[in-house]
Chain A
């Protein structure tokens, strides 16, 4: 069935608490888009135009409701001096963090147009913006301060630092926050809606208490900055969020994108204040049959539609690179069908 609204219109209604023709559908097609479009991954994450073309192709191919920009969570850390290895056919990975021990980080702020690969996003956003932003929202994942800080410092030193030298860690987080905000500002000017992504703050990595002390305040600061622009901010934390779901709304986020948590729990804990984005399991998306996926996604959307503040049918995390296209089709198809709103006036039928 042909959609009544464009993704732009649909998202616009969602964020002002109005019913839509169906729930927005948003499998997190990040680097998978490059694979689907036949680009090398290195080209994808080093060339903004390639990233944009891959995302535009994926949006059109799968009929999803967003164009999203993301390669990996180390993007800002790289711009601040951490080193990454760039495989031809895989995503970059951290080869050498900026610091091995907690230090006084100074006051440098990453320049989005000069440092690291930040401009890759900006070029890509500009390209996609010109291409389709009247119809499709352009979103860009911005690594949150906590996740960025963790990429700036040796991981063990960072986790130890949370316990033994919290002040130093806070300095590092302040340092990261300034660059995160600057990058978010550049994304806004390019026409993208920043999504704050903080996977290393999930319950799979730190405790709720640590989340509350080290991640949440910095998420809140960035979100407060974004709210100066009246932007509807998504906070995405993949991994286990069951223990921090009640804390996440305190960040001020307008939409929470969650991964490993019962969707009903997420709705109960936060769905009266935040729209919930979630959360089909990406391993299932990779491995299960199209029929199984359809069944499970239908059930998920059935629950998600009950979220008082609104719901977006998404995957919990990034769609794995090797996911068969028919599985993604099954996800999108079933989410659209299950998410349809029969009460939305249908002008096409007169």
Chain B
């Protein structure tokens, strides 16, 4: 990017319409300069058969573009007004197209499910392989304000008693949200029931599906990089499972993956994880990025939105913006905003906009993807290192361990309250919400708000809105 092409305005969260105005000032040259699937040796992307102008891989487009293609909820969200944030949104919203294009240019599209963060490190080490998470389709009904996927899931036998993960099954079935993957790597075990159930149903319609066991984490004598305690034997089981993944991918691609290639993928993953950790410190510590963009970034760590190289550039750009803001002491959220830690990702992104609009900000999150934040040891044998990093996963251990992850953040960023957003029918939500709330209250004395995210709608459910507002009022009173 040429530096003189754009100057970010003063940091602010702006509306959909305000982004439309701002986008008018973005030069064409800038729009054309951001592309996915760039070749390593040049900035251009490969051609697809029907595109003579080679515009297909651009992605710097405003929320209006994606709203026209059905993402209606974008019209109600507030966005960070930086170019880096625009780039982030464009890149993420573009993923469906990117996955289809990947297949068109001859890449192997591999669906990874259930592990949330580990298996793509392996998949992405293979030449021309791209990993993605159908699991992330659970946001689609919200982003589109649509019942299409949920109705399809019901037709396929999964109704309202299951969490929104059922949208992933529907997305598989409808064949319009991502290409039919050449292989599905379905992780199950010490994980949630809903995705495990979805995986079993996907097995009936997938071309090829490999089951991967995720072990239970007990207290042991080993430690992950950030200090999560676990047993070596559980890690070794995972290593054996990852070895099967490697073998199957080698069979699929006809390529043998070397430790060097795995190491390269690990190093890239680490670069990303380090950047995201720094972004978390800057956003949750210094308030230089909004919660919504941060959620999108944190989930990007799972699979890099299907283009790790470009995702790295997107995150770098965002980090640069965040650093500059901190240097200039320019926040995007109110300095005296109420400080919250958010537990379990809100299926409805509007919730994050909602709390920020009401004078709160996030100072920490536990989005059930702790494993995707954990660095991978670059000195160890690659599969062992990836397995070890996964042993820090949010959901494979006890609720008490997960509570500790939350409590650490509460202390670190002087939080004033905790929000636990659950999903009706979510297996872990049903069992651990109370355990976590009790533990957090007992340990910190902080107020905890626990609620279920309502089904997709244009607005926040009125009753829920009142509860959140009352909770924030309570926190204000406590000051």
Contacts and interface: CB of A to CB of B under 8 A. Distances in A.
Contacts of B144: 134
Interface in B84-122: 96-97, 100-101, 104
A231 interface: yes
A135 interface: yes
- Best-buried of A9, A133, A138, A273 by chain B (most CB within 10 Å): A133
B175 A344 contact: yes
Contacts of A272: 50
Interface in B404-437: none
B273 interface: no
- Best-buried of B59, B68, B175, B180 by chain A (most CB within 10 Å): B68
Interface string B45-69: 0001111110110110110110111
A161 interface: no
A8 B70 contact: yes
B146 A129 contact: no
B357 interface: no
A10 B148 CA distance: 13
Interface in A122-157: 129-130, 133-135, 137-138
Contact of B49 (A13, A17, A348): A17
Interface string A207-239: 000000000000000000001111100000000
Interface in B140-191: 144-146, 148, 155-156, 172-177, 179-180
Interface residues of A, number: 40
A158 to B, nearest CB: 31
A2 B17 CA distance: 38
B176 A347 contact: no
A134 B146 CA distance: 6
A229 B61 contact: yes
B67 A191 contact: yes
B176 A9 contact: yes
A192 B72 CA distance: 12
A350 B59 CA distance: 35
A191 B59 CA distance: 19
Given A13-B176, A231-B65, A347-B175, A135 B104 contact: no
Contacts of B48: 17
B336 interface: no
B470 interface: no
A6 interface: yes
B31 interface: yes
A12 interface: yes
Contacts of B204: 350
B464 interface: no
A308 interface: yes
A243 interface: no
Contacts of B465: none
Interface in A3-33: 4-6, 8-10, 12-13, 16-18
B72 A6 contact: no
A312 interface: no
A309 B68 contact: no
A10 B174 CA distance: 10
Interface string A180-193: 00000100110111
A224 B24 CA distance: 13
Interface in B173-213: 173-177, 179-180, 204-205
B231 to A, nearest CB: 41
Given A16-B101, A134-B145, A345-B180, A188 B68 contact: yes
Nearest to A192: B68
B63 to A, nearest CB: 10
Interface string A31-55: 0000000000000000000000000
A229 B61 CA distance: 6
Contacts of A273: 50, 52
Nearest to B17: A189
Nearest to A189: B20
Contacts, number: 98
A288 B115 CA distance: 60
A8 B97 CA distance: 14
A305 to B, nearest CB: 15
A138 B68 CA distance: 8
A203 interface: no
A265 B58 CA distance: 31
B28 interface: yes
Contacts of B31: 228
Contact of A134 (B24, B52, B56, B148): B148
Interface string B14-58: 000100100110101001000000000000000011111101101
A188 to B, nearest CB: 5
A128 to B, nearest CB: 12
B148 A17 contact: no
B64 A229 contact: yes
Contacts of B26: 228
A189 B72 contact: no
A5 B49 contact: no
A129 B304 CA distance: 31
Contacts of A189: 17, 20, 64
Nearest to B140: A134
A252 interface: yes
A202 B207 CA distance: 49
Contacts of A228: 23, 26, 28, 31, 61
A6 B176 CA distance: 9
A191 B205 CA distance: 35
B100 A18 contact: yes
A191 B73 CA distance: 12
A309 B175 contact: no
Nearest to A271: B50
Nearest to B28: A228
A6 B148 contact: yes
Contact of A230 (B50, B61, B75): B61
Given A9-B174, A345-B175, A308 B65 contact: no
A230 B148 CA distance: 25
A313 B232 CA distance: 62
Interface in A328-347: 344-345, 347
Interface of A: 4-6, 8-10, 12-13, 16-18, 129-130, 133-135, 137-138, 185, 188-189, 191-193, 227-231, 252, 272-273, 308-310, 344-345, 347-348, 350
Interface of B: 17, 20, 23-24, 26, 28, 31, 48-53, 55-56, 58-59, 61-62, 64-65, 67-70, 72, 75, 96-97, 100-101, 104, 144-146, 148, 155-156, 172-177, 179-180, 204-205, 458
Which 6 residue pairs of A and B lie closest in terms of their CB atoms, listed nearest first? A134-B146, A9-B176, A347-B173, A230-B61, A134-B144, A229-B65
Given A16-B97, A17-B49, A191-B75, 7 more contacts: A129-B72, A135-B146, A228-B31, A230-B55, A230-B58, A252-B53, A310-B50
25 contacts: A4-B175, A5-B174, A6-B148, A9-B148, A9-B177, A13-B100, A16-B97, A16-B100, A16-B101, A18-B100, A129-B72, A130-B72, A134-B72, A134-B144, A134-B148, A135-B146, A185-B24, A188-B64, A191-B68, A191-B72, A191-B75, A230-B61, A231-B65, A344-B175, A347-B156
